[in-house]
């Protein structure tokens, strides 16, 4: 039986958020460099950043009362090998 | 409306931009529908899970796990949204008094820029094919050239027939300009 705290899932989530942040910055930089002076790209960039903020804020709100210290127990399948039971 | 053109091409002396084209906005709207469908998937799965296992979303461990999973999923879907926009917005065709420039954004880290001198244009064809293109008035414009790249394609641009006419006018004007310049050079040499 392996027991890990629930907060370990936050590390995986943080990795996804990091990946999202890197790609978001690259996308926005593309727009800023090659055409963000236009109203359309400004509106879309604003919508994108606002949408991302809403997703992250909603996640934070929904998980506000979570007890992250409780353990996740993963039981490994038990097996035994007895040489006597082996019949060729 | 313009891309920062000077960052991508160096304008020649006396060259001016005549018009600037992107794909028809309906193309981006179509991609938005796809993003909306992707966003609806967790809602459907959530409803199904609640029916099958009513306590799943209330469990002390399953609830945070499901919320984190859904949040990660929505962040990725949201990346699709901005990715589609960047791809749509940074694909452009620029017509100047001397050239056609095609800026093509392929994903995030690849961009192709092709140029074609109007003087090398041999033939221009416009095509509107299908129900949606006919209803919304977008299609393809093919510019046949004498160069290595045989065809220069304007993809899903609005009013392709008018674009074809305008390109032909520009080609004609460019030929007159080149003839005048040729006469001037000859006179200077004499």
Tokens 């993963």, residue located: A74
For residues B108 and B18, state if they share a domain: yes
User: Is residue B2 assigned to a domain?
Assistant: no
For residues B56 and B133, state if they share a domain: no
Position A4 pLDDT exceeds 90: no
User: Is residue B75 assigned to a domain?
Assistant: yes
- In angstroms, the Cα distances linking B28 to A34, B80, B82, B84, B162 are 18, 12, 11, 7, 22
pTM for the predicted model, two decimal places: 0.81
Across the A:B interface, residue pairs with CB atoms under 8 Å apart total 90
Tell me if A56 and B71 make a contact (CB, 8 A cut-off).
yes
Q: Does B53 touch chain A (CB under 8 A)?
A: no
Residue of A35, A52, A63 to mutate, testing the B interface (most B Cβ within 10 Å of its Cβ): A35
CATH number for the domain harbouring residue B157: 2.30.29
Rg (CA), chain B: 25
For residues B34 and B101, state if they share a domain: no
Position B2 pLDDT exceeds 80: no
User: Is residue B5 assigned to a domain?
Assistant: no
User: Is residue B1 assigned to a domain?
Assistant: no
Which pLDDT tens digit goes with each residue over A26-67?
A: 998 888 877 656 888 889 999 999 999 999 999 999 998 888
For residues B118 and B181, state if they share a domain: yes
For residues B174 and B126, state if they share a domain: yes
Q: Which of A13, A23, A44 sits opposite B72 (nearest CB)?
A: A13
For residues B20 and B80, state if they share a domain: no
Tell me if B89 and A31 make a contact (CB, 8 A cut-off).
yes
Which pLDDT tens digit goes with each residue over B97-111?
A: 888 988 888 877 788
Q: Which of B104, B82, B74, B106 is nearest to B91 (CA)?
A: B104
For residues B154 and B110, state if they share a domain: yes
Identify whether the C-beta of residue A26 lies closer than 8 Å to the C-beta of residue B108: yes
For residues B52 and B104, state if they share a domain: no
Q: Which of A16, A34, A72 sits opposite B61 (nearest CB)?
A: A72
Question: B147: domain range?
Answer: 14-24+91-189
Number of domain units in chain B:
2
Residues of A in contact with B82 (CB under 8 A): 24, 27-28, 44-45, 48
């Amino acid at each position: 039986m392996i027991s890990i705290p629930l907060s370990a899932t936050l590390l995986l989530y943080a990795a996804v958020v990091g990946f999202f942040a890197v790609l978001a910055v690259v996308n926005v930089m593309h727009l800023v460099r090659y055409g963000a002076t236009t109203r359309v790209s400004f509106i879309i960039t604003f919508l994108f950043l606002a949408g991302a903020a809403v997703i992250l804020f909603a996640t934070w709100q929904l998980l506000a009362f979570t007890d992250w210290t409780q353990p996740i127990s993963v039981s490994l399948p038990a097996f035994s090998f007895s040489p006597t039971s082996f019949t060729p | 409306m313009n891309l920062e053109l000077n960052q991508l091409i160096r304008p020649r002396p006396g060259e001016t931009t005549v018009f600037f084209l992107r794909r028809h906005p309906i193309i981006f709207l179509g991609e938005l529908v796809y993003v909306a469908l992707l966003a609806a998937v967790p809602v459907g799965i959530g409803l199904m899970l609640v029916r099958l296992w009513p306590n799943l979303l209330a469990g002390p461990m399953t609830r945070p796990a499901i919320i984190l999973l859904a949040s990660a999923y929505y962040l990725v879907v949201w990346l699709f949204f901005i990715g589609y926009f960047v791809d749509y917005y940074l694909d452009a065709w620029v017509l100047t008094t001397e050239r056609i420039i095609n800026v093509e954004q392929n994903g995030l880290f690849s961009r192709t820029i092709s140029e074609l001198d109007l003087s090398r244009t041999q033939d221009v064809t416009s095509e509107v094919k299908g129900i949606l293109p006919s209803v919304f008035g977008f299609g393809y414009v093919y510019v046949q050239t004498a160069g290595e790249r045989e065809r220069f394609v304007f993809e899903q641009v609005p009013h392709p027939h008018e674009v074809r006419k305008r390109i032909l006018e520009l080609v004609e004007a460019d030929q007159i300009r080149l003839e005048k310049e040729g006469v001037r050079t000859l006179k200077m040499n004499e």
